[in-house]
Amino acid sequence: MVTLAEVAQHAGVSASTVSYVLSGKRSISANTRQRVERSIRELGYHPNAGARALASSKSNIIALMVPLRTDMYVPVMMEIAIAVATAARTHGYDVLLLTGEEGPDAVRRVAGSGLADGMILMDVELDDERLPLLRATDQPSVLIGLPADTNGLTCVDLDFRATGALCVEHLAKQGHQDIAVIGEAPAVYERHTGFAERTLDGLRSRSRELGVRLLHRPCDGGYDAMAVTLARILDERPGTTGIIVQNESAVEPLLALLRQQGRAVPEDVSVVAICPDQVATQASVRLTSVAIPAQEMGRHAVEHLVAKFEGRGSDEVVLIAPELTVRGSTGPAPTRP
């Protein structure tokens, strides 16, 4: 294991000089810099992370807390996690993966031990139990998702309210009067996950404004649950011509069932999905959808956190504007007989 001191000796300078070459915090003559850099290369030197952390009180690590649940939105979570890791590297940070398992204790452990310089929390609930701790330790942090009280917190999320509104608008504009919403699993609502409720909020208020009728039903993933939910919807509102789905694992079952019942998409029923683009383009019908911008969310989260490290951060809520991509699954409402 090569140390700073060995590099210094090899280059014929003092240890501090090598350190300054590495950090650039003091000016170094071109000559010396080159000699040092050459020694570093020749000896294959890598600074020791622990020593660095100890001396500088900076670990260059960002903790990422992902939910333990694998019951929803897994690909999106994964994409966000990877986006976070990638973005973090471009700023010189590594990412520590914490699962929800430990719960709030993880916050305490990380903050207390100086393991990470800050943390990013995913899957934030409206009244998340980690938040009081986060506020107490003044650990720099960014949330992906929106809690009920965002006071003193920095949050990044898709604007799900606007997303809901956008979906309704798109269908209403095409003449749909009766719209059904197939939502997340009931458990998601029970847990008071913010995004689900906000989407619903956007859906409801916009449909009220536009004077269209809206029916919302939570739905577990999978074929069987979907069959029950769809039957119930069509029973209650036989005139439904527009469907909005917000549950990745309900998308394909829904399309299969519609097909099976002889309802053509988009001629008889229009379908709008809120899901990653990959799902929308790979489904059996190319779906008109609002994408979940996982990449962008991950990148934003990292950038805001790094900004905080550098003292230029501000507590703010960043809502990413939704974008609706029209594909083949929506069209004008069929004229009533």
Partner DNA sequence: ATAGGTTGTCGAAGCGCTTCGATACCTATT
Partner DNA sequence: AATAGGTATCGAAGCGCTTCGACAACCTAT
By CB under 8 A, the residues from 284 to 303 that bind its own copies are: 284-285
Partner interacting with residue 222 (select from DNA, its own copies, none; CB below 5-8 Å by kind): its own copies
**Cβ pair 89, 111 in contact under 8 A:** no
**Residue closer to its own copies, measured from CB, 75 or 104:** 75
Find where tokens 């990412």 sit: 95
- Residue 115 binds DNA (CB under 7 A): no
Tokens of 302: 């990292």
- Residue 137 binds DNA (CB under 7 A): no
Measured from the Cβ of residue 159, the count of other Cβ atoms closer than 10 Å reads 20
Partner interacting with residue 15 (select from DNA, its own copies, none; CB below 5-8 Å by kind): DNA
**Cβ pair 336, 155 in contact under 8 A:** no
Tokens of 67: 């939910």
Measured from the Cβ of residue 92, the count of other Cβ atoms closer than 10 Å reads 8
Partner interacting with residue 96 (select from its own copies, DNA, none; CB below 5-8 Å by kind): its own copies
Residue type, 36: V
Q: Which of 38, 89, 173, 208 binds its own copies (CB under 8 A)?
A: 89
Pick the stretch among 6-14, 217-225, 279-287, 298-306 that binds DNA (CB under 7 A): 6-14
Least separation in angstroms between CB 6 and DNA:
7
**Cβ pair 302, 141 in contact under 8 A:** no
Pick the stretch among 16-24, 123-131, 168-176, 250-258 that binds its own copies (CB under 8 A): 250-258
Least separation in angstroms between CB 180 and its own copies:
20
Partner interacting with residue 13 (select from its own copies, DNA, none; CB below 5-8 Å by kind): DNA
- The candidate with the shortest Cα–Cα distance to 18, out of 1, 2, 39, is 39
**Cβ pair 121, 141 in contact under 8 A:** yes
Residue type, 14: S
Buried b / exposed e along 127-138 (16+ C-beta atoms within 10 A): ebebbebbeeee
Least separation in angstroms between CB 9 and DNA:
10
DSSP-assigned beta bridge partners for residue 242: 179, 270
CA distance 174 to 168: 10
- Residue 178 binds its own copies (CB under 8 A): no
Partner interacting with residue 34 (select from its own copies, DNA, none; CB below 5-8 Å by kind): none
- Residue 281 binds its own copies (CB under 8 A): yes
Measured from the Cβ of residue 39, the count of other Cβ atoms closer than 10 Å reads 21
Provide the binding-site residues for DNA, judged by CB under 7 A: 1, 3-5, 12-17, 19-20, 22-23, 25-29, 31-33, 45, 47-48, 51-52, 54-57
Provide the binding-site residues for its own copies, judged by CB under 8 A: 1, 44-54, 57, 59, 61, 64, 66, 68, 70, 74-75, 77-79, 81-82, 85-86, 89, 94-99, 101-102, 108-109, 112-115, 221-223, 249, 252-253, 255-256, 259-260, 278, 281-285
